[in-house]
Chains A and B, each alone.
Chain A
Amino acid sequence: DAGVIQSPRHEVTEMGQEVTLRCKPISGHNSLFWYRQTMMRGLELLIYFNNNVPIDDSGMPEDRFSAKMPNASFSTLKIQPSEPRDSAVYFCASSLIAGGDTGELFFGEGSRLTVL
């Protein structure tokens, strides 16, 4: 298995531009997570999908952030308009959660976003 695949690995953009980050979870996993990592705040959960349905988006910072999961093999995280404080590494992770038991999270390599 190729693991969780994220794109792009690096993105540099200017303030006000739209940013779209993409994630392909591991086949067969039923849960997908978007995290943001910064030096100041560490790893923060932004949103969690189960069976393609958003379950908890309380971590999404504001309306400029949106996430979709149109099918089991693809998810996007969009920031519109982007701001310099959005600069961070964004991770996608997937997991197989069955019977309420916690599964380990499998992380992608991350998308490093720099907003100038």
Chain B
Amino acid sequence: SQQGEEDPQALSIQEGENATMNCSYKTSINNLQWYRQNSGRGLVHLILIRSNEREKHSGRLRVTLDTSKKSSSLLITASRAADTASYFCATEPLQGGSEKLVFGKGTKLTVNP
């Protein structure tokens, strides 16, 4: 079964608001990564959080990881129209490396100007 699943499937907000996307997974992991995909483009790596980390920041991005609940969240603060994209979580299971990275189906974020 699919490892990472994002929630919600789609999110529409106004510019300046915060956007929160969630990811749940089923098995133990080494790390969890978040990627962004603009329409018609390839995926771009945003941030990686390891299983022994609980929170990580990068610019306007904040990622949390709760291994007891097998979930992660991506928070984008003060969103901009340019943040409009699909966001994917990808989990690397405990037994395996990058070749075992499993992507969810993504959250489609629309930021209205």
Contact = CB atoms under 8 A, between A and B. Distances in A.
Interface of A: 4, 31, 33, 42-43, 45, 48, 50, 55-56, 91, 93, 95, 97, 100, 102-110
Interface residues of B, number: 22
Contacts of A91: 42-43
Given A43-B88, A107-B44, A102 B103 contact: no
A109 B42 CA distance: 4
Which among B2, B103, B104 has the greatest number of chain A C-beta atoms within 10 A? Answer: B103
Contacts, number: 55
Q: Is the interface of B mostly helix, strand, loop or mixed?
A: strand
Nearest to A108: B42
Given A93-B42, A95-B98, 13 more contacts: A31-B99, A33-B99, A42-B104, A42-B105, A42-B106, A48-B98, A48-B99, A102-B48, A102-B98, A105-B33, A105-B35, A105-B98, A105-B101
Nearest to A92: B42
6 contacts: A33-B99, A42-B105, A45-B101, A45-B102, A48-B98, A102-B48
